[in-house]
Structure formats: structure tokens, C-alpha cells
Amino acid sequence: MVARDRDEEHRQASWLELLFDLSFVVAVAQVAAQLEVFLRDGDVVRGVTVYLMVFGAIWWAWMSFTWFANAFDSDDVPYRLLMMVMIAGSLGLAAGVPELAHLDFRIGVISYVVMRLAYVAQWGRVLRGGDPAWRPVAARMIALTTVVQVGWVLFLLVPLEWRIPVFIPLFIADVATPIVAGWDARMGGHRGHIVERYGLFTIIVLGESIAAATIAIGSAIEARSDLCSCSFWPPVD
């Protein structure tokens, strides 16, 4: 896997990258919907805590691979298959949100580790056939990311009352991996492409928000219509 030329005149986001972004936005929407349930039930602290934990995992999985794809975008069959694995992992992470309300991290952690191991596999392709300048970084990224994923698996054995305190430093270690590995964004990547990816992701999020707002307004109008019907129209025998 060879690094892309950062001086390309224009580099458009691929259809697969758009699908990748959409799947992560759907996952964020599912997490937000679960937050709404917590807030409606008055469990604000637990709702916000679960939301931040899951959103952080989704955000970091998207962010790290988006930067990787900005530097390396072979778009061959193995690359596409690994992206599909990451898409499945993001949806699995969102599906495990209800269990996270009870600090049951099994589905969430397994889904997250699946995404991150697909990310490790992409770096493995860089190590085997990439540019020589990237191979030391690739080796460190593979080693450090794998160690952190082992930590996430062991996290499932942590007693219930210690899971949130242990989660925070473990997540910080995951986010700090590129810094420790020496991955400098100036080593490669297309500025216009990464800006476009951020913009497209934001547009999709806004579109999801508009759809949710439309559904909420429709539900409110329907509820008001039902109330008016009950007030002015007698029951029909």
C-alpha cells in the first residue's frame, strides 16, 4: 500500500468513504436516541456518561481511519473489505448502547475491538508493502494499537464498580497511540481531501438532525391533533 501524493490537484471522496461516513453518523444517531431515553427517565448522569463513552469510541474510530485513508487510499479489494468490517463494527457498537446503560460492555467492546483490528490490518499492509519511510511508524502503530486492544478485552474482567475509572485512562491511551508512534500528519495526506471528509461528515450529521427534528415536529403535531379530537369530538358508539 503506497502513500498518496499530497500534491494531487484534486482528490474527491469515494463512494465507499461516503458510505463509511454514513454508517458512523447512524451510529451517533442511535447513541443520541438512547441519550434521549435516559433524559426522559430523569437519569441524566448515567445518560450523559454512556453517551460520552460511546460517542468517544465512535469518534476515535472514525477519526483515526479517516486520517489513515487520507494518507493511504489504495481502494483495492482488501481495503474495501476491511472498511466494511469497520462499518459493521460501528453499527454493532451502537447496537450495544442499551447494555452499556447497565455497564455491560461486552457488545460495545467486541465491536470496538473489531473496528480497531481492521485498522491494524490496514497498517499491516503498509508495513509489508508500503513506502520505507512509513514502515517504522506502521510497526509502532500495529504494536501499540494491538496492545491497547488487548487492554480493552481485559477491561471486560474489571469489577463493575471500577469500569468507568478504568475506561478513562484506557481510552486516553488509545487516542495517544499515534503521538507515541510518531505519526505526524505532515508525513503525508491531502489537505483538500481531509477538509472535504470533515465537511461531508458534518453535512450528513446535519441531515440526520434535520430528519430527527422533522419527526419530532410531526409527532408533536400528531399528539396535538389527538388532543383536539378528544376535546371537541364525542366518542362514536
Q: What pLDDT was estimated at residue 227?
A: 57
Q: Could you tell me if residue 5 is inside a domain?
A: no
Q: What pLDDT was estimated at residue 233?
A: 47
Provide Rg for the chain, Cα atoms.
21
Task: Name which residue leads in pLDDT, 208 or 62.
Answer: 62
Residues in the chain: 237
Q: Could you tell me if residue 237 is inside a domain?
A: no
Q: What pLDDT was estimated at residue 116?
A: 92
Q: Could you tell me if residue 223 is inside a domain?
A: yes
Total domains present in the chain: 1
Q: What pLDDT was estimated at residue 208?
A: 67
Q: What pLDDT was estimated at residue 50?
A: 81
Q: What pLDDT was estimated at residue 216?
A: 63
What whole-number distance in Å separates Cα of residue 119 and Cα of residue 107? 19
pLDDT in tens, 165-198: 899 999 999 999 999 988 876 666 666 777 777 7
Q: Could you tell me if residue 60 is inside a domain?
A: yes
Q: What pLDDT was estimated at residue 212?
A: 63
Q: Could you tell me if residue 10 is inside a domain?
A: no
Q: Could you tell me if residue 3 is inside a domain?
A: no
What whole-number distance in Å separates Cα of residue 74 and Cα of residue 16? 12
Percent of the chain with pLDDT over 90: 18
Residue 94, class by beta-carbon neighbours within 10 Å (0-12 exposed, 13-18 middle, 19+ buried)? Answer: buried
**Greatest pairwise CA separation for the chain in angstroms:** 82
Check whether 1 has a pLDDT greater than 70.
Answer: no
Q: Could you tell me if residue 175 is inside a domain?
A: yes
Which residue shows C-alpha cell 470496538? 112
What whole-number distance in Å separates Cα of residue 174 and Cα of residue 147? 9
What whole-number distance in Å separates Cα of residue 21 and Cα of residue 92? 15
Task: Name which residue leads in pLDDT, 152 or 77.
Answer: 152
Q: How many CB atoms lie within 10 A of CB 6?
A: 16
Q: What is the mean pLDDT of residues 12-17?
A: 75
Q: Which domain holds residue 80?
A: 15-232
Q: Could you tell me if residue 97 is inside a domain?
A: yes
